[in-house]
Structure formats: C-alpha cells, structure tokens
Amino acid sequence: MNWLEFRKKMFDLACFSINQVYAWQPGFNRNNFVNWTQKGYLVRLRQGMYAFPEYISEPGMAAYFAGKIYNPSYISLHSALSFYGLIPESVFQITSVTSLKTASFKNLFGEYSYKSIRQDLMFGYLPLPLADGRTTWYATREKALLDLLYLYPFYKTERELADLRLDEDILHDDFDLIEWESLGGRFKCKALEKRMRLLGKVYGL
C-alpha cells in the first residue's frame, strides 16, 4: 500500500480511525501511520485517529473534528455561546459535552475540552451544516447556557452571572424562554433552577 493509494481512498473522510483503515485493509502496516505523520502527510488528532493536513485551512473543520475525536459529544458551553453570539469573547478552545469521562486533546487543528454529563442529559443539540455539506453537532442556545450553569456552579451570584456579559438583544429576541424552562426542568436539579432564576433576574428575562 503506497501513500497515493491510501490518500485516494481516505481523503474525502477528512479524518479516520485506525479501525476504519483495518476494516478496509486488514493487513495494513501500522508503521505507515508513524511514517506518514512524521513526513507531514497526516495529522494525529488523538491516539488511533488521524486527519489530512489539507483540511486545516477549511472553515469549520476544527469544529467538525470535535465530534469525531470523542464520540458521543456535542459542542456546547462557551464555544456554542460564542458561536451564537451570546457572549462577546472569541473562544479558541473548543468546548463540548459528552456522556463519557472528562477529557482533553490538543493537535494541529486546535484544543478540545470535553465535560462529562449524565447520559440522560445528552439532549438539546442539533446538526449544523458546514460549507462542504458535512454537519457537526451543536447545543441549542438554550441548552448551551443550561450546560454552562449546570457544569460550572461558579456562576451562582448576580455579579458572576453579569460578568458573562450575555447579549441581551439575543436573549430577548432569539432565545426561547419556554424551551429554556422545559429543558431546564429535565435536569431535575434544584441548584440549577436557582441559578436559572437568578440569571433571569440579572438579564430581565
């Protein structure tokens, strides 16, 4: 198996696991991954997973890989809030929620952080399209904010919630308060409900 044959077969996937390669070529030489990575032909995303460096310049691919590197997961928390314009800061680390254990990864595409949540709280996310027709999973506005309040109990006073600097125009025009309350109730968490009420007071919801 030479590089050109391999690239032709796998390139459109953008990223792949070694198990996918073995399913295609059971006798594949594992040393090829090391050699091709050292030559810059491949980028190691995490143990057992690789991508093609040509995708580094493609918009949205770093976010797309977030769901591939650690699955199941969806982009949420500060990354999703920034994506929707709810917080003013640009977020360089891609933050996701997962039902697996908390983890983090760093590669040439970026830094990835995954916060663990109960399996029954893996809801409130949807696939959003990328430019090339691929999709990646993002929390809705409402679920991203709920995940933040639930996973970061630091946000428990009016001052700390005000310091989030949530965009009040988006909160009042594009934020679904009925959905927010409905999803929040599914957490069955009194502390979260208290923080939700406090956030509503701070931002006039």
Model confidence pLDDT, tens digit, residues 106-160: 999 999 999 999 999 999 999 999 878 899 999 999 999 999 999 999 898 999 9
Checking if the pLDDT of 65 tops 90, the result is yes
Rounded to two decimals, the pTM is 0.94
The three-state DSSP-derived secondary structure of the chain is CCHHHHHHHHHHHCEEEHHHHHHHCCCCCCHHHHHHHHCCCCEEEECCEEECHHHHHCCCHHHHHHHHHCCCEEECHHHHHHHCCCCCCCCCEEEEEECCCCEEEEECCEEEEEEECCHHHCCCEEEEECCCCCEEEEECHHHHHHHHHHHCCCCCCHHHHHCCCCCHHHHHHCCCHHHHHHHHHCCCCHHHHHHHHHHHHHHCC
pLDDT of 92: 86
What is the C-alpha to C-alpha distance for residues 58 and 50, in angstroms, rounded to an integer? 16
What is the C-alpha to C-alpha distance for residues 201 and 48, in angstroms, rounded to an integer? 47
| Cβ-based neighbour number of residue 101 at 10 Å | 8
pLDDT of 160: 95
Checking if the pLDDT of 103 tops 80, the result is yes
pLDDT of 90: 80
How far apart, in Å, do the first and last CA atoms of the chain sit?
A: 61
Residue at token pair 């044959």? 5
- Write the pLDDT tens digit of every residue in 181-199: 999 999 999 999 999 999 9
- Write the pLDDT tens digit of every residue in 3-60: 999 999 999 999 999 999 999 999 999 999 999 999 999 999 999 999 999 999 998 9
Checking if the pLDDT of 1 tops 80, the result is no
pLDDT of 48: 95
